[in-house]
């Protein structure tokens, strides 16, 4: 079960690296405009905010990778960062888009569940 938990945690980290790239570097490019359903004008007006949000996603990914790198000693680190991702996903689902519940919160919740069962 630990291996499966770590695989899911790794995937959550990769997702957050992808979010970082979308929000920091592709926000006003075709991929970012499509992903976030924005017009070029909306993207231009929110580019700095999106970059900040992307940086936070990078911190979440870094924390999960750190927890994985610590092996068994990283249990608490993984729990902390997975809980952070779940909370961020729930908040995003309530305030921005229900889709965030499935893209961000659900994978992290699955990773947390598998980690606790392992």
- Domain-wise residue ranges, the chain: 2-117
> What distance, in Å, lies between the first and last C-alpha atoms of the chain?
5
Tens digit of pLDDT for each residue in 87-117? 999 999 999 999 999 999 999 999 999 999 9
Supply the Cα-derived Rg of the chain in whole angstroms. 15
Q: Is 95 helix (H, G, I), strand (E, B) or coil?
A: helix
CA separation for the pair 59, 81 (Å, rounded): 9
CA separation for the pair 27, 47 (Å, rounded): 7
| Mean pLDDT, range 55-74, rounded to an integer | 97
Closest among 74, 94, 97, 35 to 111, alpha carbons compared: 74
Tens digit of pLDDT for each residue in 4-47? 999 999 999 999 999 999 999 999 999 999 999 999 999 999 99
**The pLDDT of residue 1:** 76
Give the pTM.
Answer: 0.93
**The pLDDT of residue 76:** 98
**The pLDDT of residue 21:** 98
Tally Cβ neighbours within 10 Å of residue 48: 10
């Amino acid at each position: 079960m630990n291996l499966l938990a770590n695989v899911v945690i790794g995937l959550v980290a990769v997702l957050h690296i992808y979010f970082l790239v979308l929000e920091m570097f592709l926000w006003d490019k075709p991929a970012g405009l499509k992903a976030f359903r924005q017009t070029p004008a909306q993207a231009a007006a929110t580019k700095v905010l999106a970059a900040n949000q992307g940086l936070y996603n990078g911190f979440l990914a870094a924390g999960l990778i750190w927890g994985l790198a610590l092996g068994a000693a990283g249990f608490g680190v993984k729990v902390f960062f997975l809980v952070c991702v779940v909370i961020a996903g729930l908040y995003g689902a309530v305030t921005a888009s229900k889709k965030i519940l499935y893209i961000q919160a659900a994978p992290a919740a699955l990773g947390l569940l598998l980690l606790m069962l392992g």
